[in-house]
Amino acid sequence: MIDSIRQFIFSSLREMNYDTDDIDDDTQLGPRGADLASLSLAELAVRVEDEFGVRFSEEEAEELAGKTVGEFCAIVAERVSAPSVEKAEVD
């Protein structure tokens, strides 16, 4: 699963006109690595949400700049594999 998420992220970055040659799992998404601007981070998050059916809060989306590609892949994989649990009401 992580490999398909990683491939999707790299494909999305290329579609967004980012050079991915020097990007790997240890590369931060923000200014200290891939240098994605905040709007690009938001676009990447939306693309991942649409593709994998996961959701990120606005706060989480803002925190993506500090995540590495590997960390982001792991977060998405965890959410994809987590079963949807509805809380049962207790009388």
**pLDDT computed for residue 84 by the predictor:** 58
For residue 20, give both structure tokens: 């991915």
Distance of CA 68 to the CA centre of its chain: 9
For the chain, 91 residues long, give each residue's pLDDT as a single digit of tens. 999 999 999 999 999 999 999 999 999 999 999 999 989 999 999 999 999 999 999 888 889 999 999 999 999 999 998 765 543 444 4
Sorted by where each starts, the structural domains of the chain and their CATH numbers stand as 2-16+23-81 (1.10.1200)
Q: What share of the chain is helix, strand, coil (3-state, %, to 5)?
A: 55, 0, 40
**pLDDT computed for residue 58 by the predictor:** 84
Question: What's the CA gap between 69 and 23, in Å, rounded?
Answer: 8
